[in-house]
Chain A
Amino acid sequence: MKGSYFGEFGGCFVPELLMPPLLEVEAAMRDILSTPSFQTELDDLLGNYAGRATPLTYCARLSEETGFHLWLKREDLLHTGAHKINNTLGQALLAKRMGKTALVAETGAGQHGVATAAAAARLGMNCVIYMGSEDIARQSPNVMRMKLLGAEVHAVQNGTRTLKDAINEALRAWISSQETTHYCFGTAAGPHPFPTLVRRLQSVIGRETRSQLFEKTGRLPDAVVACVGGGSNAIGIFYPFLEDASVRLIGVEAAGTGETGCFNSAPLNLGSPGVLHGNYTMLLQNNDGQIEPSHSVSAGLDYPGVGPEHAWLHKTGRVHYGMVKDANALAAFHRLCKTEGILPALESSHALAWVLDHPQKFAPGSHVVVNLSGRGDKDMEIVSNFPHREEPHEHA
């Protein structure tokens, strides 16, 4: 359990029964992940199955409107429609080399569930997905995709019936299935070593961004912006830039509906430190330490915690974490559809919204990269039911 903390955040707060399998994952990271044969096989899967490298798209029309150069890192173009597949292919391959025959995973919006199901099918493994019954109702196309890909999908009826409860249930299932099963954790949170493992598998996003922008402009970006739920797409694109002091890093949390005291998914801005799902991090909780329900129009950001490394980067100030309300994310969604012909996920729309709503924060002519972490096809129903306003309210 070396290196399980990011400053004071992180750790490994799990039942003793989960310590042996977590130590096994830690050992596999050390012994398998860096071997050339693993990397070769993963690179092949990422390149020829998932569709890497993803493009870095220049947004000519939005750049002209805003006065700075806006680039999108196109994780939406990956197989299964989001960055999640970077992580699931890596973990599935690792699990297979550890001798596991099955994957268990949680999912919120269903993107991680679909990506896990695809990786399991591709590598000939069994797959069990836990998903809150609330999320099953609002993301039904993804449930069908998981089933078509051969996964068993279990509805979780406990608690708030969303991602948080799906994680609880997947952890419970892993206790009894650990001998044959790897827990393919979906974000850079949870107990050590998951925050480090997921960061490592997702940082391909930032490495590509760095070399692609350099190739096109001969320089580093001035700012990199990503949405933060659990925080895997954000840490993936931030990590390779952490040491570059000239690169501003901006994470964007979901502020929910936006009135004072509303449910939100912004534990870095509005929460306090505590322990949930195996790590010490920033949480939405009451004074008694009970976890509060979260809310976001985007199911993928709807989580009361956040990865521990983000809690640390927030505390040190290396990354600035802003907030965007539901309505502003929707407005950015529509604007990108109309001006660039790209239909972004509502999660990624939060990152874009922060940039579009704060043009004054970016110097004219500067280069700003937004991680477009997923595509919005899954969100059609939510978008069509959301009252559409061209001019959103001002927000922080």
Chain B
Amino acid sequence: MNTLEEKIRSAAAAGRTALIPFLTAGFPDKTRFWPTIMELDDNGADIIEIGVPFSDPVADGPVVAAASQRALSDGVHLRGILAEMKERKGLVRAGVVLMGYLNPFLQYGFEKLAVDAAAAGVHGFIIPDMPFEESVSLRAALKKQGIALIALVGPNTGEKRMRLYAGENEGYAYVVSVMGTTGERTALAPQIAAVIRRARSVFSVPLALGFGLREPSQLAMLPHDAQPDAVVFGSALLTHLDSGKSAAAFLNRWR
């Protein structure tokens, strides 16, 4: 079983919804990034998604897009991220996922990326602008290194397309809760329960719900049979950190 799946399964065994914070690399600034990662790790993060910045983040709302822009201005880049991760390999207990747009990964080179990511302790990748049809060569390179390529599916992903992803997917499946970009929403759309049930019937891996999550009470509206196994929060965490509050305080609301 892939490490990421294991992390979520063991949270479930303990009766918890697994927690997956997303943090853009170099956020809130280059000095505080790693201490923030360690704080998330110490305070209940089961998996941590590290955002690789890109100049043109089409699937992101204003908060993550601004964090990405800020990181680029501060000189954050993929090579540096992988090097810093390699130095700290083994220190983070949580599973580690890199989330970013395709072009920086493509320019790095898929084979080299897979090797270097494995050496840096990366367990999975999420690439929002790479649908199933375009994923063959990267998936193969990652597979050789035992790294998962995580599917993103959403409210308009029918069963047929979910099956395409499910046939190859490892780790977990990321269910996008809204027809939109990343960013906090006050309430989950009512039809999300149906989407989670559909994904549940297709995927054998655990389901993580993300995009638009702000507080635990949003999950309370979901019926028992449509609860995700894990929750991802990005924009809400970035906004929280940017207001000077701690990563621990954020995670405590969810534990």
Contacts and interface: CB of A to CB of B under 8 A. Distances in A.
Contacts of B58: 14-15, 168, 171-172, 277
B181 interface: yes
Contacts of A285: 103, 107
Interface stretch (B12-20, B123-131, B241-249): B123-131
Interface stretch (B31-39, B155-163, B220-228, B232-240): B155-163
A16 B77 contact: no
Nearest to B53: A290
Given A159-B55, A159-B56, A13 B157 contact: no
A16 B131 contact: yes
A283 B104 CA distance: 13
B179 A20 contact: no
B236 to A, nearest CB: 19
A15 B129 contact: yes
Contacts of A171: 58
B179 A290 contact: no
Interface string A176-213: 10100000000000000000000000000000000000
Interface in A1-50: 1, 4, 11-17, 19-20
Contacts of B132: 16
A365 interface: no
Most chain B CB within a 10 A radius of its CB, from A4, A164, A274, A289: A289
A314 B135 CA distance: 26
B131 A12 contact: yes
B205 interface: no
A283 B103 CA distance: 10
B63 interface: no
B180 interface: yes
B65 interface: yes
Contact of B153 (A16, A158, A278): A16
Contacts of A1: 133
Contact of B131 (A14, A164, A172, A289): A14
Contact of B55 (A11, A178, A291): A291
Interface string B175-211: 0101111000000000000000000000000000000
Contact of A288 (B79, B156, B178, B179): B79
A242 interface: no
Contacts of A168: 56-58
Most chain A CB within a 10 A radius of its CB, from B54, B55, B108, B156: B55
Interface string B3-34: 00000000000000000000000000000000
B154 interface: yes
Most chain B CB within a 10 A radius of its CB, from A1, A4, A11, A158: A158
Contacts of A17: 59, 154-157, 176, 179
Contacts of B133: 1, 4, 11-12
A98 interface: no
A358 B129 CA distance: 42
Contact of B103 (A164, A165, A274): A274
Given A16-B153, A17-B156, A19-B161, A289 B107 contact: yes
B83 interface: no
A276 interface: yes
A184 B152 CA distance: 25
B92 interface: no
Given A15-B128, A16-B152, A159-B69, A290 B54 contact: yes
A14 B158 CA distance: 17
Most chain B CB within a 10 A radius of its CB, from A16, A164, A171: A16
Nearest to A21: B156
B105 interface: yes
A225 to B, nearest CB: 31
A275 B179 contact: no
B72 A289 contact: no
A210 B171 CA distance: 56
Contacts of A290: 53-55, 72, 77, 103-104
A287 interface: yes
Contacts of A288: 77-79, 104, 107
B131 A13 contact: yes
A65 to B, nearest CB: 44
Given A13-B102, A171-B58, A175-B181, A289 B134 contact: no
Nearest to A176: B180
A189 to B, nearest CB: 13
Contact of B134 (A12, A158, A276): A12
A199 B129 CA distance: 24
Contacts of A164: 56
Contacts of A287: 107
A16 B181 contact: no
12 contacts: A13-B131, A15-B152, A16-B154, A19-B161, A168-B56, A172-B180, A172-B181, A175-B179, A178-B156, A274-B106, A285-B107, A289-B108
Interface of B: 53-59, 61, 65, 69, 72, 77-79, 101-108, 128-134, 151-158, 161, 176, 178-181
A-B CB proximity, top 4 nearest: A289-B107, A289-B104, A289-B103, A176-B180
Given A12-B134, A289-B105, 7 more contacts: A11-B134, A13-B102, A16-B157, A171-B58, A283-B103, A288-B78, A290-B54
